[in-house]
Amino acid sequence: MDFKQVALYFITVAPIVFVVSAGVTYMYSYFLQGAGVVDWGRALQWALILGIFLTFMNYWEGKKKG
């Protein structure tokens, strides 16, 4: 895997994780606190952390295979 493939993988994974974690924080806030507010900071943190982690794992798996 070259840098372009790794960057493309991160660019596709991070927004998906961001949307999912924003939805989860909204549901958490709505059901448990009764407020229905998205925690954008937490969603961004999860997107960056999981985006980097999943990209690294994908890169590592591709390196093992070939």
pLDDT tens per residue across span 32-63: 999 999 999 999 999 999 999 999 999 998 88
pLDDT of residue 6: 92
pLDDT of residue 62: 83
Mean pLDDT, the chain, as a whole number? Answer: 93
Q: How would you write the chain as a 3-class SS string?
A: CCHHHHHHHHHHHHHHHHHHHHHHHHHHHHHHHCCCCCCHHHHHHHHHHHHHHHHHHHHHHHHHHC
